[in-house]
Chain A
């Protein structure tokens, strides 16, 4: 392990290396029960990589003071703590010196602190240069992929794996969504929501068409061709689709605003909106085809009976 880390430090493609620690602890406030927390130990020096966007430089600097931590503002109620107050983690007193945004987890609570404080709080964490993960910045002269290939082939031991930041993020997201219990529940809930949405859209269109069958039959009796009727149904489907899209987009925006207010990490991407729109379009087309098929069976002569 030590050799592998030395190799990492000495690789010509690596500009810097910093340790990243993930431990656990038992959070307690006076007179209340414990909360299991994840202790996140980061390099707090200026220009360090870990949580660079989440923990601002002033807070990083302040974390150099031993036994200081920061927590996500979305977890402050759960932890019953405000900035400036103290609590205990695994029996050791810590002081919360600030609140951050964007680190609210799916399950547990993250407590961010310096590497030294993390080791002091969780005695099982590796000390003297060890780490759960090492974060490195690639030297600008060489392509990331080339460095990665070399590290995996020669420099690093087989027990250590290296990833690009994006790849690790993707692996992590995939794990949280597809393998963790909360993630699978989320995926299923989304699928159910999608199914119900599809059902509502298709039923709205089908009932709109069914409700107008006598009118379509009248048009047929007046001599309007089936092709022209089909155009009307397609137009009707398009309106249902457009209103459905406007409604669902508005609701999504309202929900994402609530998520923002309650500090829930929420990402409404353009690709997600496009994906949902395509799903909506497919449902509208499908319902449209069924509606047209039903209308094909409409006999204008029924108006004469």
Chain B
């Protein structure tokens, strides 16, 4: 199985108002391509910090993070920006869409920054929206869409550039059962069909049965690593 990200002995501490918090405590893990990995654990256990470190948004205090030959922990801010732009997709709990843009424009944004020509970018954005079942809603702005539709636009925005790694932070927590299950099915399909490494932070029990691998965190440490055989 191809490794998408490899983290070695990473630690991260925070000092907030003189209160010292150890968010990550000597964690080592590997995330594989084509696998839907679920990262779970109680609130404040360091899941989001781990996601931020693995995606290069935050630098750890110690340890190394590597994707292929690229060592994120040794890279400059600009190099890590470029890594995220070219290799990573993000899905956030709060959707984080741009209020003034239509669905197709939202999806096109990463492609614009990747300097893909306008016409090709639009076609790819429309195909990505089609793949999440939203081709008929492509001209709508976020205010005109339901929560489930917004999250599917966010997924289309993440997968349009066929990312090597897809990070999802509580993607179903703001959704009802039907939309939640739909989103889970799409994430799983992205891992299995496109071959992306999907790392999803969630408490949502619906995701457990769909995940290929479950990582459990507690107090900044990785407690369990369960891998389910592919069905």
In the bound complex, do residue A304 and residue B57 qualify as a contact, i.e. CB atoms below 8 Å apart? Answer: yes
Taking the complex as formed, is B200 at the interface, i.e. its CB lies under 8 A from any CB of chain A? no
Kindly list chain A residues whose C-beta atoms are within 8 Å of the C-beta of B169: 303-304
Taking the complex as formed, is A101 at the interface, i.e. its CB lies under 8 A from any CB of chain B? no
In the bound complex, do residue A222 and residue B84 qualify as a contact, i.e. CB atoms below 8 Å apart? Answer: yes
In the bound complex, do residue B85 and residue A299 qualify as a contact, i.e. CB atoms below 8 Å apart? Answer: no
On chain B, the number of residues with a Cβ less than 8 Å from chain A's Cβ atoms is 27
Partner of A224, one of B48, B51, B81: B81
In the bound complex, do residue A215 and residue B98 qualify as a contact, i.e. CB atoms below 8 Å apart? Answer: yes
Taking the complex as formed, is A158 at the interface, i.e. its CB lies under 8 A from any CB of chain B? no
B52 to chain A, nearest CB (A): 4
Kindly list chain A residues whose C-beta atoms are within 8 Å of the C-beta of B34: none
Q: Which size class do A's interface residues fall under?
A: 10 to 19
In the bound complex, do residue A223 and residue B85 qualify as a contact, i.e. CB atoms below 8 Å apart? Answer: yes
Kindly list chain B residues whose C-beta atoms are within 8 Å of the C-beta of A183: none
Closest to A300 in B: B57
In the bound complex, do residue A224 and residue B85 qualify as a contact, i.e. CB atoms below 8 Å apart? Answer: yes
Kindly list chain B residues whose C-beta atoms are within 8 Å of the C-beta of A299: 57-58
In the bound complex, do residue B98 and residue A223 qualify as a contact, i.e. CB atoms below 8 Å apart? Answer: no
With the chains together, A226 CA to B98 CA distance in Å?
Answer: 18
In the bound complex, do residue B85 and residue A221 qualify as a contact, i.e. CB atoms below 8 Å apart? Answer: no
B218 to chain A, nearest CB (A): 18
Taking the complex as formed, is B121 at the interface, i.e. its CB lies under 8 A from any CB of chain A? no
Partner of A223, one of B48, B51, B110: B110
In the bound complex, do residue B81 and residue A220 qualify as a contact, i.e. CB atoms below 8 Å apart? Answer: yes
Binds A, one of B88-96, B145-153, B187-195, B220-228: B88-96
Taking the complex as formed, is A305 at the interface, i.e. its CB lies under 8 A from any CB of chain B? yes
Partner of A222, one of B48, B49, B52, B90: B90
A301 to chain B, nearest CB (A): 4
A278 to chain B, nearest CB (A): 31
- A residues 227-261 touching B (CB-CB < 8 Å): 228
Kindly list chain A residues whose C-beta atoms are within 8 Å of the C-beta of B51: 304
Kindly list chain A residues whose C-beta atoms are within 8 Å of the C-beta of B77: 226
In the bound complex, do residue A301 and residue B58 qualify as a contact, i.e. CB atoms below 8 Å apart? Answer: yes
With the chains together, A145 CA to B174 CA distance in Å?
Answer: 83
- B residues 77-117 touching A (CB-CB < 8 Å): 77-78, 81-86, 88, 90, 92, 94, 96, 98, 109-110, 113
Kindly list chain B residues whose C-beta atoms are within 8 Å of the C-beta of A34: none
Kindly list chain B residues whose C-beta atoms are within 8 Å of the C-beta of A197: none
B58 to chain A, nearest CB (A): 5
- B residues 24-71 touching A (CB-CB < 8 Å): 48-49, 51-52, 55, 57-58
In the bound complex, do residue B92 and residue A304 qualify as a contact, i.e. CB atoms below 8 Å apart? Answer: yes
Taking the complex as formed, is A57 at the interface, i.e. its CB lies under 8 A from any CB of chain B? no
In the bound complex, do residue A303 and residue B96 qualify as a contact, i.e. CB atoms below 8 Å apart? Answer: yes
In the bound complex, do residue B92 and residue A218 qualify as a contact, i.e. CB atoms below 8 Å apart? Answer: yes
In the bound complex, do residue B113 and residue A304 qualify as a contact, i.e. CB atoms below 8 Å apart? Answer: no
With the chains together, A228 CA to B78 CA distance in Å?
Answer: 11
In the bound complex, do residue A223 and residue B83 qualify as a contact, i.e. CB atoms below 8 Å apart? Answer: yes
Closest to A214 in B: B96
Kindly list chain B residues whose C-beta atoms are within 8 Å of the C-beta of A228: 113
Taking the complex as formed, is A225 at the interface, i.e. its CB lies under 8 A from any CB of chain B? yes
In the bound complex, do residue A226 and residue B81 qualify as a contact, i.e. CB atoms below 8 Å apart? Answer: yes
B201 to chain A, nearest CB (A): 8
B220 to chain A, nearest CB (A): 15
Kindly list chain B residues whose C-beta atoms are within 8 Å of the C-beta of A221: 55, 57, 84, 90, 92, 96
Kindly list chain A residues whose C-beta atoms are within 8 Å of the C-beta of B52: 301, 304
A134 to chain B, nearest CB (A): 69
With the chains together, A214 CA to B96 CA distance in Å?
Answer: 7
B160 to chain A, nearest CB (A): 11
**Which of B58, B96, B98, B109 has the most A CB atoms < 10 Å from its CB?**
B96
Closest to A215 in B: B98
In the bound complex, do residue B81 and residue A223 qualify as a contact, i.e. CB atoms below 8 Å apart? Answer: yes
Contact mask A52-77 → B, CB, 8 Å, 1/0? 00000000000000000000000000
In the bound complex, do residue A225 and residue B82 qualify as a contact, i.e. CB atoms below 8 Å apart? Answer: yes
A119 to chain B, nearest CB (A): 74
B75 to chain A, nearest CB (A): 13
**Which of A222, A223, A305 has the most B CB atoms < 10 Å from its CB?**
A223
Kindly list chain A residues whose C-beta atoms are within 8 Å of the C-beta of B90: 221-222
Closest 7 CB pairs of A and B: A223-B85, A223-B84, A301-B52, A304-B48, A218-B96, A301-B57, A225-B81
29 A-B residue pairs with CB within 8 Å: A214-B94, A214-B96, A215-B98, A217-B96, A218-B96, A221-B55, A221-B92, A222-B84, A222-B85, A222-B113, A223-B82, A223-B83, A223-B85, A223-B86, A224-B81, A224-B85, A225-B78, A226-B81, A299-B57, A299-B58, A300-B57, A301-B48, A303-B92, A303-B94, A303-B96, A304-B48, A304-B52, A304-B169, A305-B48
Q: Known contacts A221-B90, A304-B49; can you find 11 more A-B pairs with CB under 8 A?
A: A215-B98, A217-B96, A221-B57, A221-B84, A221-B96, A222-B90, A223-B85, A224-B85, A304-B48, A304-B51, A304-B201
